Amino acid sequence: MSAEAHAHPDAHTGHDDHHHHEESFVSKYIFSMDHKVISRQFLITAVIMATLAMGMSFLFRLQLAWPGEHFAIINFILGDKWGKDGIMAPEMYMALVTIHGTIMVFMVLTAGLSGTFSNLLIPYQVGARDMASGFLNMLSYWFFFLSSVFMLAGFACETGAASGGWTVYPPLSALPQAMDGSKLGMTMWLVSMSLFIVSSLLAGLNYIVTILNLRTKGMSMTRLPLTIWAFFVTAVLGVLSFPVLFSAALLLISDRSLGTSFYLSDIYIGGQALEQTGGSPILYEHLFWFLGHPEVYIILLPALGITSEVISVNARKPIFGYRAMIGSIMAIGFLSFIVWGHHMFITGMNPFLGSVFVFTTLLIAIPSAVKAFNYITTLWKGNIRYTPAMLFAIGLVSTFISGGLTGIILADSALDIPIHDNYFVVAHFHIVMGVSAILGMLAGVYHWYPKLFLRHMNKKLGYIHFWGTFISAYGVFFPMHFLGLAGVPRRYYSNSAFPMFDNLVDINVFITCFAMLAALVQLVFLFNFFYSMFRGPKSEQNPWGANTLEWTTPMAHTHGNWPGKLPTVYRWPYDYSKPGKPQDFCPQTVPLEEGEIDGGGH
């Protein structure tokens, strides 16, 4: 199958870097349809959003560690309305938690992660000149951009941003009488998420079509790097599950504005009995988590894909169990659609149904365990080169294991009863999803920075960044398990209303200190990231000695990626340190020798 014919007309091939069609600044950097530019747009937007969301967590961590204390910085940032005398208003606390969660989950780790790396790597690694549709790809970025703007604009509302938690369960989110955050702020949230879903669908369809149709000659599905496999399954999950969230949002909008009662029944609020009967909030929960659970794998799989690639390249060894890795990605993808009920064990859902979800959820642990073991075995007898990316990838393996293990407790419905919705859950999902995916994303940034910006990031600062981040991530989230085991509910503005929590203040102070350290270390990253863009040392073509196709393109942002013909692929991407080869790597474009078996076969 020759992809060349579809990707770009042949007129493009072989033309010189300097003789582009005269592109204006706007068409080159703003409304660009080039996957490399769009990838950078996603990345920079995500870095900004992540910084804001982290700033929010810093503010509410101050409140949790020292409730009632006066902080000049709170008053400075939140103003007199929300931060009078330096004390955060409870409304503001809820809004910050909600928007922090939403931005991290959707803007940073869904759009930011997939948007950056699927866009950058899919055309490069499958050997295509660009995405199947550059135009839809561009639209996907701009929908995402608008969505981010609307999400932040919630804070500009007189009544504050959405504050019902990132899950925005009705009736709380459906009834403006229920809280100020459910007024205009909630509308902004819904608009933002609707735009986001459009963006994610446009992007996902593009990824799928490109992977299926635009693979270059010789690039069979079983020669795809694991990054591409991960992006592929991620895109399929997104395309199948985001529309369900969209329908949930539409019904919510309808309940909010048109007086319908999909989610509402028998409610007396604000001194008044509402007319609506017959609906059920549980319907919303089902719809939400039908997306919500696959969503955590939409976040995690790309990070795992990046890790597979980074670990293999830097251990100078083939990834262990390539086919088992593909199998587990697919198993995780499939199972993730039939486990959503583990978020609903104590909502009043039929207990028998609960048992079914216990079973399916614990099944997911098997392919996840296989992945973890395979990563560890890949390190065994390697010749590990510690680039900053490699450190982040190893960090991911650690947090993926330690966060995944507590998931086994939460998936056990009986054990979930006393810890559901408390800080044990906050600890669990931050470690397994938040920290792991952030580490994976950073591994990707350090590893592919030369392809993104043609330069290198500073190695030493990268080391500092990794150890600071990794240590403070455990410092922040590990002790949270104990808050949960002490019974502290999540989404509490303050624990001081309960004498039983008085002895937990020191844990909260401890956590906040590490959160501040984490934030400080990210400044090192921000500096390194932006500084290296302009001043970093220029990169040679294949700085890591890697096998995949992106490193066969010149270190320039060439329109159409390869100046000449598209490369032909002869082997799988993991021939590192293969006996009998002159170097410890062997790019996919090197033909097989007489009698050589491909794909790690014997």
Partner 1 sequence: MIKILVYVAIILAIFAIGYVVRVYELATSLKGKKQHEVTDSDNRMMGKIMLTFLVVFFAFVIWNLESFGPKMLPESASEHGVGLDWLFNFNMTILFFVFTITHIFLFYFAYKYYGRTGNTATYFPHNNKLEMIWTVIPAIVLAVIIIFGLKAWNTITAPASDNAIVIQLYSQQFQWTARYSGTDNKLGDSNYKLITDTNPLGMDDNDNKGDDDIIVKNEFHIPLGKEVEFKLNSRDVIHSAYMPHFRAQMNCVPGMTTMMHFTPRITTQQMRDKLNNQKFDYILLCNKICGVSHYNMQMTIIVDTEIDYKVWLHAQATHKSQVNASAAKPVAAK
What does 476 interact with, of ligand HEM, partner 1, Cu ion, none (CB < 5 to 8 A by kind)? ligand HEM
Which residue's CB is nearer to Cu ion, number 285 or number 575?
285
**Residue 406 lies near partner 1 (rule: CB under 8 A):** yes
Closest CA to 103 of 438, 485, 498, 585: 438
**Residue 414 lies near partner 1 (rule: CB under 8 A):** yes
For residue 293, what are its two tokens?
């659970």
**Residue 482 lies near partner 1 (rule: CB under 8 A):** yes
**Residue 255 lies near partner 1 (rule: CB under 8 A):** no
Q: What is the per-residue burial (b if ≥16 Cβ within 10 Å, else e) of 173-195?
A: bbbbebbbbbbbbbbbbbbbbbb
Which residue's CB is nearer to ligand HEM, number 217 or number 491?
491
**Residue 420 lies near Cu ion (rule: CB under 5 A):** no
**Residue 468 lies near partner 1 (rule: CB under 8 A):** no
For residue 154, what are its two tokens?
């919630």
What does 293 interact with, of ligand HEM, partner 1, Cu ion, none (CB < 5 to 8 A by kind)? Cu ion
| Phi, psi (deg, nearest 5) at residue 236 | -65, -45
Closest CA to 238 of 198, 195, 190, 210: 198
What does 434 interact with, of ligand HEM, Cu ion, partner 1, none (CB < 5 to 8 A by kind)? ligand HEM
DSSP H or E run through 365: helix 351-379
**Residue 320 lies near partner 1 (rule: CB under 8 A):** yes
Which residue's CB is nearer to ligand HEM, number 88 or number 358?
88
Cβ-proximal residues to 383 (8 Å cutoff; 6+ apart), any chain: 315, 316, 317, 577, 584
If phi over 0 gives left and psi between -120 and 50 gives alpha, with beta otherwise, what is residue 577? left
Provide the 10 A C-beta neighbour count for residue 330. 15
Query: Residue 590: helix, strand or coil by DSSP?
Result: coil
Which DSSP category does 272 fall into? E
For residue 427, what are its two tokens?
């600890």
- Stretch 326-365 residues interacting with partner 1 (CB under 8 A): 346-348, 351, 354-355, 358-359, 362-363, 365
What does 409 interact with, of ligand HEM, partner 1, Cu ion, none (CB < 5 to 8 A by kind)? partner 1
Interhelix angle 184-213/90-102, rounded to 10 degrees, is 10
- Stretch 534-553 residues interacting with partner 1 (CB under 8 A): 535-537, 539, 543
Nearest distance from residue 402's CB to Cu ion, in Å?
18
- Stretch 320-339 residues interacting with Cu ion (CB under 5 A): none
Nearest distance from residue 18's CB to ligand HEM, in Å?
42
Which residue's CB is nearer to partner 1, number 144 or number 466?
466
**Residue 132 lies near partner 1 (rule: CB under 8 A):** no
Provide the 10 A C-beta neighbour count for residue 319. 25
Which residue's CB is nearer to ligand HEM, number 113 or number 313?
113
**Residue 577 lies near partner 1 (rule: CB under 8 A):** yes
- Of 162, 394, 435, 569, which one interacts with partner 1 (CB under 8 A)? 394
Which residue's CB is nearer to Cu ion, number 61 or number 293?
293
Nearest distance from residue 153's CB to Cu ion, in Å?
27
- Stretch 281-310 residues interacting with Cu ion (CB under 5 A): 293
Binding mask 556-575 for partner 1 (x = CB under 8 A): ------------------x-
d(Cα 115, Cα 204) in Å, to the nearest integer? Answer: 9
- Of 55, 243, 487, 545, which one interacts with partner 1 (CB under 8 A)? 487
| Phi, psi (deg, nearest 5) at residue 312 | -65, -45
DSSP character string of 119-185: HHHHHHHHT-SS-S-HHHHHHHHHHHHHHHHHHHHGGGSTT-B--STTTT-TTTTT-TTT-GGGSHH
Closest CA to 398 of 460, 307, 320: 307
**Residue 579 lies near partner 1 (rule: CB under 8 A):** yes
What does 100 interact with, of ligand HEM, Cu ion, partner 1, none (CB < 5 to 8 A by kind)? ligand HEM
- Of 531, 555, 563, 590, which one interacts with partner 1 (CB under 8 A)? 531
> Per DSSP, what are the bridge partners of residue 455?
538
d(Cα 1, Cα 10) in Å, to the nearest integer? Answer: 16
Cβ-proximal residues to 469 (8 Å cutoff; 6+ apart), any chain: 395, 438, 439, 442, 518, 521, 522, 525
Binding stretches for ligand HEM (CB under 6 A): 54, 57, 61, 97-98, 100-101, 104-105, 109, 165-166, 426, 430, 433-434, 438, 476, 490-492, 515, 518
**Residue 592 lies near partner 1 (rule: CB under 8 A):** no
Nearest distance from residue 338's CB to Cu ion, in Å?
11
Nearest distance from residue 25's CB to ligand HEM, in Å?
34
